[in-house]
Amino acid sequence: MAIQVEIQISEKSRGFHIITDQVVRELGDLPSVGILNLFIKHTSAGLTINENADPSVRVDFESIFNQLVPENEPFHTHVLEGADDMPAHVKASIVGTSVSKFQLQVGI
């Protein structure tokens, strides 16, 4: 059985954001066994699974990605939408546009 649900995530500022609660709310009841695949259709946004215990993880991710892919490089030609647009495309490509989570109920 396959279920497909489209979720609208509200616009976010640049950075790393936790969307878990919204995704869980929007999906509703799910089978206890299966694979969940999340895919983001935006070309300058990506998805990653990481810890949520310490907010500094997201701050560090942002700092690292901004050092890896800085804005205002003279070789950027895709700049019509702002200095952060091309770096956002590259960052999304590094992280990826989908994540999958396998869930197996123990004791079946």
9 vs 31 pLDDT, higher one = 9
Q: pTM value?
A: 0.81
Q: In which domain, by residue range, is 63 found?
A: 20-103
Flag whether 77 is in a domain. yes
Instruction: Tell me the pLDDT of the chain averaged across its residues.
Output: 90
Does 1 score more than 80 pLDDT? no
Nearest-CA neighbor of 45 among 8, 7, 97?
A: 97
Tell me the per-residue pLDDT of 58-77, one tens digit each, with 9 for 90 and over: 999 999 999 999 999 999 99
Instruction: Assess if residue 13 is contained within a domain.
Output: no
Q: How far is the C-alpha of 6 from the C-alpha of 89, rounded, in Å?
A: 22
Domain CATH number, residue 77: 2.60.120.460
Half-sphere exposure of 72 (CA within 13 A, CB side): 0
Which range has the worst mean pLDDT, 6-10, 30-34, 79-83, 103-107? 103-107
The total domain count for the chain is 1
Residue 80 lies in a domain: yes
In a domain, 65, yes or no: yes
